[in-house]
């Protein structure tokens, strides 16, 4: 089973939503976690918009990328265009993608909905490519 790391700057919105979709859509097919260049919190609006589509991410935690070992992951997905600032060992996994999605933090809820839906489509496509 492929292991996927979703990484972003603060691990509060985009990477958390991606982890939630990957765990739900990829259940039994892939393993997924998320992290940030720095840890923060799981954004309450991210929790809200994910619950609207039946996915509970309220128990997920915001963790620093430095808490993980790159060698344990097959795929690394940068959510925010921060791929160039990741430590080199994270860029050389079997799969590396930089999705460069808009940051919904501080934006209207409509932005959270749009980014959530973009993430769902990208995660579904990623899962198909990994299995």
- Token reading at 128: 């198909």
pLDDT at 72: 98
pLDDT at 83: 74
Helix (H) or strand (E) holding 115: helix 109-130
Rounded to whole angstroms, the Cα distance separating 45 from 49 reads 6
pLDDT at 89: 95
pLDDT at 24: 98
pLDDT at 39: 92
pLDDT at 43: 97
Catalytic (active site) residue 82: no
Catalytic (active site) residue 8: yes
Catalytic residue (choose from 80, 115, 123, 126)? 80
pTM, two decimals, is: 0.96
How many CA atoms lie within 13 Å of 71's alpha carbon, on the beta-carbon side? 0
pLDDT at 85: 85
Rounded to whole angstroms, the Cα distance separating 131 from 114 reads 26
Catalytic residue (choose from 4, 7, 8, 42)? 8
Q: What is the pLDDT along the chain (131 residues), one digit of tens a residue?
A: 999 999 999 999 999 999 999 999 999 999 999 999 999 999 999 999 999 999 999 999 999 999 999 999 999 999 988 777 899 999 999 999 999 899 999 999 999 999 999 999 999 999 999 98
Q: Which domains does the chain have, with CATH numbers?
A: 2-130 (3.40.50.2300)
Distance of CA 69 to the CA centre of its chain: 16
pLDDT at 80: 85
For the four alpha carbons of 49, 52, 53 and 55, in that order, the dihedral sign comes to positive
pLDDT at 84: 74
75-78 and 95-98 beta bridge pairing: parallel
């Amino acid at each position: 089973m492929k292991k996927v790391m979703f990484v972003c700057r603060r691990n509060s919105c985009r990477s958390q939503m991606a982890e939630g979709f990957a765990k739900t859509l990829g259940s039994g097919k892939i393993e997924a976690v998320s992290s940030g260049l720095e840890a923060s919190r799981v954004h309450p609006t991210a929790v809200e918009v994910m619950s609207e589509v039946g996915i509970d991410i309220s128990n997920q935690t915001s963790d620093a990328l430095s808490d993980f070992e790159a060698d344990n992951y097959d795929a690394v997905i940068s959510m925010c265009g921060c791929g160039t600032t990741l430590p080199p060992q994270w860029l050389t996994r079997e799969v590396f993608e930089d999705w460069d999605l808009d940051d919904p933090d501080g934006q209207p809820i409509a932005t959270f909905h749009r980014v959530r839906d973009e993430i769902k489509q990208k995660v579904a496509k990623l899962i198909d490519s990994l299995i």
